Structure 1
Amino acid sequence: MKHLNLKPGEKILGYARQHPVLVAVPLVFEIGFILLAFFFMTPLFRLGAPGTVVFVLAVIFGAFLSFRSWLLWHSNVFIITDRRIVDIDRRGFFEWVVSEAQFWNIQDIAWNTKGLVQTIFGAGNVVVQTASGFVNLEIRFVKDPARVAQAIKDARDSGLAPAGPPDGDPGEKFSDLDPDSRRALSKYANHLRSKKSFKEFLGDNSEEDRV
C-alpha cells in the first residue's frame, strides 16, 4: 500500500475507511451531470462545433469529478498493524498527510456517534489519543465505529507489538505488562526524556556562561 512502509516482520491486521455513503452522494450528482450532458447531446450537436465542445467538456468534467471523489475516499485509510496505527489522509492529487501512533504510546481509544445522519447509517468517529499528546489520530464517519475501536484495542492489548519505550526496559519485558502498566511506563519514560533534555539545556547554558 502506497505511503505505508512496513517494518521487518510487521503485519497488517486490518484497515478502515469512511462510510461508503460519503462517496456515494457526490458520485450520484457527478454521474448525473454526465447523464445530463448525454440527455442534451442531440440539441448540442445541432449547434455544430461549439455544441460539440460543450458536450465533450461536460463529460470530461463530470468524469474528472467522479474519479477525484472516488480516489480521495479510497486513499484515505486507517491501517491497523501488529505494532501501530497508521492514518493515511489524502487531501488532493498531490497532497498526503501520514500520521502514526505506536501501540505502547496509545493512551486512550474512544468512539462516538453524532447527529441524525451518522445514527441512520450506523457511522461514527474513532479517536486514538497518544500519551505524549503530540499526535491524536481520528477517522470520521467510519462504518461501525464500535467495531473499529474494539479492533484497535484488541490489537494493542494482544501483546503482538514487541517494541516498548525507546529508552529501554526497566527490569521486565514491556510487552508482558498489562495495558495500564504499559501506558504508565510510557508516560514516565516521556517524562524522563523531557527532564533529561531540560537539564542538558541548563547545563549547556551554564558552561557558556562560565566561558
Structure 2
Amino acid sequence: MSYNPFELKDFRDGERVVALVRHHWFVLFREIFWLGILFIAPFFLIPIAFGISAQGGGLPSVPPGVVIFFASLWTLMIWHLLFARWTDYYYDLWIITNWRIIDIDQIGFFNRNVATLLTLDHIQDIETHVDGIVGTILNFGSIKVQTAAAKAEFLMSEIPNPVSIEKIIREAQEEKIRVFGAKPAAHE
C-alpha cells in the first residue's frame, strides 16, 4: 500500500476524489527566482568588495575563514527558505470530490489546516478570473465560489486552468445532486 499524504479518513459513502488542485507552477517559480538572485548575490558582491579593498578602498581586511563562514550561513538560510517555499507549494492544495471541496493549508513545516470549505450542493455561482498578460499566456487565475452556506464565498487563487477547474466543479456538483440529492446543511 502506497503512502498518500492527502488521503482523508472521513470520506462519505460513495465519495471520491475528482481533482487535486495546487497553485500554478509560476507562483513557485516567481519566488524561487528571487531566492536564486539572493543566493548568487554574495558570490558577485564579495569578490567586488575584496577587489575594492585590495585597491586601498575603505573596507577592512577580513580573514577568508570569516567570509566562508558567513557565505555558508547565507547559503544555508537560502536553502531553508527554498525548502520552506517548496513545502508550502506542494502541500497547499484543494481537493475536489464529488461531494465537497476540501482546503488543505500548509503552515510552516509541521502545521496543516484541513477544512471542508463547502458541499457542492450549496454552490450558487462560480466566477473565474484570469488577470494580466502573464496569467493569460500561462493560463492561470482564480476561482471565486459563492454559496448558500454560512461562509458566503471562498477563493481559489493562482490556480492553473481556472476554466477547466470550474467545469470539473460544476460536473461534480451535478453528479452529487443527481446521485445523492441536494441535502440541507444540517444533515452533513
Same fold (TM over 0.5): yes
User: Displacement of 1:63 after TM fit?
Assistant: 0.2
User: Displacement of 1:131 after TM fit?
Assistant: 0.7
User: For the residues of structure 1 that align with 2:76 and 2:9, how far apart are their CA atoms?
Assistant: 35
Kept in 2: contact 1:18–1:142 (CA 8 A): yes
- Once structures 1 and 2 are overlaid, which stretch shifts more, 58-67 or 107-116? 107-116
Unaligned segments of structure 2, at least 5 residues: 51-61
User: Displacement of 1:96 after TM fit?
Assistant: 4.1
Equivalent residue for 2:31?
26
Relative to its length, the structure with more helix (as a share) is: 1
Structure number with greater CO (CA < 8 Å, separation at least 6) is 2
Corresponding position: 1:137 with 2:141: no
Corresponding position: 1:75 with 2:94: no
Question: Which amino acid in structure 2 is aligned with residue 109 of structure 1?
Answer: I
- Cα distance change of structure 1 residues 108 and 98 upon mapping to structure 2, 3 Å threshold: farther
Corresponding position: 1:112 with 2:129: yes
Unaligned segments of structure 1, at least 5 residues: 169-211
User: Displacement of 1:97 after TM fit?
Assistant: 4.2
Kept in 1: contact 2:125–2:145 (CA 8 A): yes
User: Displacement of 1:155 after TM fit?
Assistant: 0.6
Kept in 1: contact 2:91–2:106 (CA 8 A): yes
Equivalent residue for 1:157?
174
- Cα distance change of structure 1 residues 83 and 76 upon mapping to structure 2, 3 Å threshold: same
Could you state the TM-score of these two structures normalised by the residue count of structure 2? 0.74
Corresponding position: 1:7 with 2:28: no
Question: Which amino acid in structure 1 is aligned with residue 184 of structure 2?
Answer: P
Could you state the TM-score of these two structures normalised by the residue count of structure 1? 0.67
Question: Which amino acid in structure 2 is aligned with residue 102 of structure 1?
Answer: T
Percent identity of the aligned residues? 23
What root-mean-square deviation, in Å, do the aligned CA atoms of Structure 1 and Structure 2 show? 2.8
User: Displacement of 1:29 after TM fit?
Assistant: 2.4
Question: Which amino acid in structure 2 is aligned with residue 70 of structure 1?
Answer: W
Question: Which amino acid in structure 2 is aligned with residue 7 of structure 1?
Answer: F
Question: Which amino acid in structure 1 is aligned with residue 10 of structure 2?
Answer: L
- Cα distance change of structure 1 residues 162 and 141 upon mapping to structure 2, 3 Å threshold: same
How many residue pairs are counted as aligned between the two chains?
Answer: 166
Corresponding position: 1:16 with 2:21: yes
Alpha-carbon deviations, 1:37-90, whole Å to 9, x = none? Answer: 5567887xx833311210110110110111111111112211111211112223
